[in-house]
Chain A
Amino acid sequence: MSIAGAEIKVEEKYISLFKENQGRLNIMASDVVANAREGAIKIFEDKGIPNRKVESYKYTNLNPQFEKDYTCDFEHEVFNQNLTEVFNCNVEDLEAITIYLINGWYYRKNQLPDSLPEGVLIGSFAEFSKSHPELFETHYNKYAKNEEDSLVAMNTAFAQDGFFIYVPKGVVVEKPIQIVNIMKAEESFMAFSRNLVVIEENAQAKIMVCEHTLSENRFLVNAVTEAFVDKNSVFDIYNIQNQHNLTTSISSVFVKQKEHSSVLTHNLTLHTGVTRNNIYVHMDDEHCESRIYGLYVSDKTQHVDNFSFVDHAMPNCYSEELFKGVLDDSATAAFAGKIMVRPNAQKTNAFQKNDNLLLTDNAKINTKPMLEIYADDVKCSHGATVGQLDEKSMFYLRSRGISKEEARVLLMYAFAYEAVEKIRVEAVREQIRGLVEQVFRGELNKCNSCVLCGQVSDNEFTCM
C-alpha cells in the first residue's frame, strides 16, 4: 500500500498509516508486542520526527527522508525465490550460522544447522514471541528507550518481525551467527525490523548483522535490537552496513548488562546513504565491561551519524569507546558520545575517543564527546581529533619510492587499522581488513553485493 501525503505534517502521515493498519500489524503479533504499540505511538505522536532542535539529532535531519513516500509490507509477502541459491555467503574460513531477513522479515526458508547447541533458539521474532511469551514478557521493550528517541518509539509501534536469538545458561555458541538483512523491492520501501537477543548466565554468542540492498530503489530502514546479557556472559554484535546511496538506515541497539558480563558492539559503515546508529549500553551491575567501536568510511554525499550512550549505573565497570572515520568527497559525519556515571558508580573506568580524517574541502565532521559524571572516584577521559594525512609520514613514504596514491592508501589504512583490529572474530577481521583497503582504493563500488563474501545478486547495478 502506498502512503499519500503532501500538505499534512510528516508525522501525521505515519500516525494515520499506523491507525489504518493497526489490524494488519497485529495479525502475526503476540500480545506482548501488540500491547506495546499504543504507548509507543503516543510517544511518537508527541515528539514527532526529530528535527535539528532535538539535541541528539542536532547534526542529522531525517525529516527530508521521512517526507518521501514509501510503500510498506505489513502482511509479509512470501519471497518466492530460493534465497540461499541467489545469495550464498562464503567468507573464507568463516564458519557461521547464517540466517536471512528480507525487508526486515525473517526468511521462512532459513535452514539452521542440526549441530546447533542444545537449547539455543534462533529464529523469527514474530514466531518466538508467540511460542515463548515468557521470554518476551521479561525482555521485550524493556531496554529500548522509546522515551528518549521517537524513532525507537516508531519502531515499537510498527514492529512485526526480525530475528530472535536465545542462548541458555552455560551454553557457548562457538560459531558466529550471521544475520543477512536484504532489502529488495520494486519501489520506495520502508521497513521496520525488531530484534531481541537474550544471553543467559555463563553463555556466549557473537552475531554479525550484514545490511544489504539488492534493488535500486529508495529504502528507509528503522531497526531496533534489544539485547540482555546476563551474568558472566560474553556477547559481540557487529553491524556491517553496505547499502546504496538511496538508503536511509536508522539502527538502534540497546544492551543491558549484568555482573561480570562483557559486551562488544562494532558498527562498520562501509557504504550508505544516510545512516544513523544509536548504541545504548546500560551497565546495570558491577564489574561489567563494554567495548563500543565504530568505523565509518564515507564518500560522495553520504552521511553517517553515530550516537552512543554509555550508562555506568553501578560501580567497578569498565567501558571503552573508539570511533574512527574517514571522510572523502562531500561526505558528512557526526559523532555524539555520552558517558554517564551515576552518583554511586565509583571506581568507574570509562574512555572515549573519536578520530576523524578529512580528505577534501567539502567533507564535514561534527563531533561531540560528552561526559556527565556524578561520582568522584572515577577515571574518565574523552578525546576527539580532526585532521588530515600527516605530511611527514607522507614524505617518508614518498622518499622510499612509494607512489602518492599508494602512500595515501597506506596511511588511511593505518588510520583505520586500530578500529578494524577490535573485531574479535578472526575470519571477519581478515575480511574487513581487505574490504576497508578496497574502499580506500576505490575498488568497492558494488554496493549491491554482500560485503563479506562479495556475492553479487542477479540484477547487477552500479552505485549512484
Chain B
Amino acid sequence: MAENQDKILEEVTGSDYKYGFTTDIETEVIPKGLNEDVVRLISQKKNEPEWMLEYRLKAFNHWLKMEQPEWAKLNIPKIDFQDIIYYAAPKQKPQLDSMDDVDPELKATFEKLGIPLDEQKVLAGVAVDAVMDSVSVKTTFKETLAEKGIIFCSFSEAVQEYPDLIKKYMGSVVNYTDNFFAALNNAVFSDGSFVYIPKGVRCPIELSTYFRINATNTGQFERTLIVADDDSYVSYLEGCTAPQRDENQLHAAIVEIVTMERAEVKYSTVQNWYPGDKEGKGGIYNFVTKRALCKGDYSKVMWTQVETGSAITWKYPSCVLMGDHSVGEFYSVAVTNNYQQADTGTKMIHLGKNTRSLIVSKGVSAGKSQNSYRGLVRVNKKAENARNFSQCDSLLMGDQCGAHTFPYLEINNNTAKVEHEATTSKIGEDQIFYCNTRGLSTEDAVGLIVNGYVKEVINQLPMEFAVEAQKLLQISLEGSVG
C-alpha cells in the first residue's frame, strides 16, 4: 500500500502546473536594477504627478535603510534586488475603449486562464481588472459600476483622475515605513486596482482582479486600495498565476482596505502563483502586505484566502479594528507541497470597544514542504469587551514535511475573551478505513476528508471561487496519503 501511495503522490505532484504557459506578447521593459533613476523612470512612464514621485522617492530612500526580515520560519535564498526588472508592460498599452482593441494574444491568455474578460459574459457577473506584469490591461463593467458611483479602475488611472482620494487613503493603512517589502512596493509599484464604494451603495457584482506575471526576470509590484464608505458593501476577488520558469520571481504587493461606518468588505484570494517544480526549482516569492483598517463603527472586513501556489509565501492579511463594534474575520487554507514554504497567518489588532475577530486557519503540508501559521491577537488597553476566537489546524501528509504554529496573544484588557486552539494531526487511518469499507478508494477518501477539513474556509468564498479553489486543492493534494 505504501508503494501505491508513493506512486499516487508522485503522479499528483508530478502533474503539470496548469497555468505554466507564457504568452508571446511584446513587452516594454526597463533595464534590470534598482536606483533612484529607475524609480523616476517608472514614475515618468506612468506620467505621474509630482507628489506621487516624491512619495516613491521617500519610500525608496527609506527602503535603502531597511534590511530584509529574517524572523519568519522561511529559508529565503538571497534576493539580488539589482537583478530584477521593476517595470514590464504589455506593449500596446494604449487606450482601450472596446474589447476589440485588446491584443488578441492577450485576450487568448486570459481566456486560457478562464477569466471572463469579455464583456459579453455578463452572466458571469464579475467585473474584472486584469493586471499583467504589473500593468492593468483591462477593466470591465466600468460603466455599469459608474452609474452607481462606484469607482473601479487601475491604480494609475486613479492617480490621474482621483488624486484626492489616493492622496487621502494611500499609505494610510500600510505606511511606506511598515516593512521591507512594503517599502519596496511603495517605491516601485507599477499598477494595481483602486476601488471606491460611495456611501450607502451595495456593489451589485463581485469585483475581481487577476494578476499574471508573464515576462522573465520581472518582479511584480502591484497595489490595491479599497475604500468602502459608510453603509457600503463590496466583495472583491483576487486570483494570481504565473508561467513556469526555472528562476525565482518576486511578487511584493500591498493591499489596503479602509472601511467606514457600517461598511463591509469581503476580500477573497485564490493564490496560485507558480510553486516551483518537484525539485523546488523556480517559483514565485510571494511577499505580500495586506491590511484592513476598520475605521468606522460597526464596520466589517473578511479575509478569505486559499493559498496553493508560490515557492515561498510570506503573508499576513490583518485587521486593525479601530471602530467600536467592528469585526475582523480571517479564513485561510494554505496548502504546501514539494519544497514550498509558507509562513502565513493574520494579525487582529483590537483598538475599539466591543470589537470581535475570528481566525480559522487550515494548513495542509505534503512532500518536503514547511507550512507555518503565525498570528497575532492584540487587545489594547482601551479595547473593552474584545472577543477573539482562533482555530488553527494543521494536517500533515507525508513524513518529511513540517507544520508549525506560532500564535501570539497580547492581552491588555481584562474584559477581553480570547481563545486559541490548534491541532496537528494526519488523516486518521480509521477514517480512511471507514471510507474504504464503503467502497471508496483511498485516494477518493483522502480527497473527501481534506475537502471536509477545509470546508469551513471554502464555504466563505464566493461561489465561482469556491469551485476553483476546490479544483486547485485536488491538483495539489489528491491521493497524497500520508
Chain A residues in contact with chain B, CB under 8 A?
55, 343-344, 346, 356, 358-361, 363-388
Chain A residues whose C-beta falls within 8 Å of the C-beta of B396 in the assembled complex: 373, 375-376, 378
Closest to A358 in B: B414
| Min distance, Cβ A266 to any Cβ of chain B, angstroms | 23
In order of increasing CB-CB distance, the 8 nearest A-B pairs are A358-B414, A376-B396, A386-B418, A380-B424, A371-B405, A384-B420, A381-B423, A374-B402
Interface residue SS majority, chain A: strand
Is B107 an interface residue when CB atoms closer than 8 A count as contact? no
A412 to B396, CA, bound (A): 38
A386 to B402, CA, bound (A): 28
| Min distance, Cβ A408 to any Cβ of chain B, angstroms | 13
A437 to B66, CA, bound (A): 52
Name 11 A/B residue pairs within 8 A (Cβ), A-sorted. Answer: A344-B399, A356-B411, A361-B413, A366-B410, A375-B399, A376-B399, A378-B425, A379-B423, A381-B422, A384-B409, A386-B411
A367 to B410, CA, bound (A): 6
Q: Are B399 and A371 in contact (CB under 8 A)?
A: no
Q: Are B425 and A372 in contact (CB under 8 A)?
A: no
Is B412 an interface residue when CB atoms closer than 8 A count as contact? yes
Closest to A375 in B: B399
A144 to B196, CA, bound (A): 58
Q: A361-B381, A370-B405, A371-B405 are in contact. Are A378 and B420 (CB under 8 A)?
A: no
Chain B residues whose C-beta falls within 8 Å of the C-beta of A377 in the assembled complex: 399, 426, 482
| Min distance, Cβ A412 to any Cβ of chain B, angstroms | 13
Chain A residues whose C-beta falls within 8 Å of the C-beta of B381 in the assembled complex: 361
Q: List CB contacts (< 8 Å) of B386-425 with chain A.
A: 394, 396-425
Q: Are B411 and A364 in contact (CB under 8 A)?
A: yes
Interface residue SS majority, chain B: strand
| Min distance, Cβ B414 to any Cβ of chain A, angstroms | 4
Q: Are A378 and B426 in contact (CB under 8 A)?
A: yes
How big is the B interface, by class? 35 or more
Contact pattern, B 30-63, Cβ under 8 Å of A = 1, otherwise 0: 0000000000000000000000000000000000
Chain B residues in contact with chain A, CB under 8 A?
71, 73, 381, 394, 396-426, 482
B402 contact from A361, A366, A372, Cβ within 8 A: A372
Chain A residues whose C-beta falls within 8 Å of the C-beta of B419 in the assembled complex: 383-387
A366 to B420, CA, bound (A): 13
Chain B residues whose C-beta falls within 8 Å of the C-beta of A368 in the assembled complex: 406-409
| Min distance, Cβ A391 to any Cβ of chain B, angstroms | 11
Chain A residues whose C-beta falls within 8 Å of the C-beta of B416 in the assembled complex: 358, 386-387
Q: Are B424 and A371 in contact (CB under 8 A)?
A: yes
Taking A358-B414, A364-B410, A386-B409 as given, write out 9 further A-B residue pairs in contact, using a Cβ cutoff of 8 Å, ordered by the A residue number: A358-B411, A359-B414, A361-B414, A365-B409, A366-B410, A367-B411, A369-B422, A372-B404, A383-B420
Q: A361-B381, A365-B411 are in contact. Are A376 and B426 (CB under 8 A)?
A: yes
Q: Are B424 and A373 in contact (CB under 8 A)?
A: yes
Q: Are B425 and A380 in contact (CB under 8 A)?
A: yes
Closest to B402 in A: A374
Closest to B408 in A: A368
Closest to B73 in A: A372
| Min distance, Cβ A334 to any Cβ of chain B, angstroms | 9
A366 to B404, CA, bound (A): 19
Q: Are B414 and A388 in contact (CB under 8 A)?
A: yes
| Min distance, Cβ A71 to any Cβ of chain B, angstroms | 37
A373 to B424, CA, bound (A): 8
| Min distance, Cβ A52 to any Cβ of chain B, angstroms | 13
A360 to B381, CA, bound (A): 11
Q: Are A343 and B400 in contact (CB under 8 A)?
A: yes
Chain B residues whose C-beta falls within 8 Å of the C-beta of A384 in the assembled complex: 407, 409, 418-420
Chain A residues whose C-beta falls within 8 Å of the C-beta of B411 in the assembled complex: 356, 358, 364-367, 386
Q: Are A373 and B403 in contact (CB under 8 A)?
A: yes
Q: Are A373 and B423 in contact (CB under 8 A)?
A: no
Chain B residues whose C-beta falls within 8 Å of the C-beta of A376 in the assembled complex: 396-399, 401, 426, 482
| Min distance, Cβ B151 to any Cβ of chain A, angstroms | 42
Chain A residues whose C-beta falls within 8 Å of the C-beta of B412 in the assembled complex: 364
Closest to B366 in A: A376
Among A55, A346, A363, A369: residue with most chain B CB under 10 A: A369
A232 to B420, CA, bound (A): 35
Closest to B400 in A: A343
Closest to A380 in B: B424
Q: A55-B71, A376-B396, A385-B419 are in contact. Are A360 and B482 (CB under 8 A)?
A: no
A15 to B146, CA, bound (A): 70
Chain B residues whose C-beta falls within 8 Å of the C-beta of A360 in the assembled complex: 414
A381 to B400, CA, bound (A): 20
Q: Are A373 and B402 in contact (CB under 8 A)?
A: yes
| Min distance, Cβ A415 to any Cβ of chain B, angstroms | 14
Q: Are B425 and A383 in contact (CB under 8 A)?
A: no
| Min distance, Cβ A393 to any Cβ of chain B, angstroms | 14
Chain A residues whose C-beta falls within 8 Å of the C-beta of B404 in the assembled complex: 370-373
Chain A residues whose C-beta falls within 8 Å of the C-beta of B408 in the assembled complex: 366-368
| Min distance, Cβ A337 to any Cβ of chain B, angstroms | 11
A250 to B404, CA, bound (A): 28
Chain B residues whose C-beta falls within 8 Å of the C-beta of A379 in the assembled complex: 423-425
A55 to B408, CA, bound (A): 12
A365 to B402, CA, bound (A): 29
A380 to B414, CA, bound (A): 29
Chain A residues whose C-beta falls within 8 Å of the C-beta of B403 in the assembled complex: 371, 373
| Min distance, Cβ A53 to any Cβ of chain B, angstroms | 10
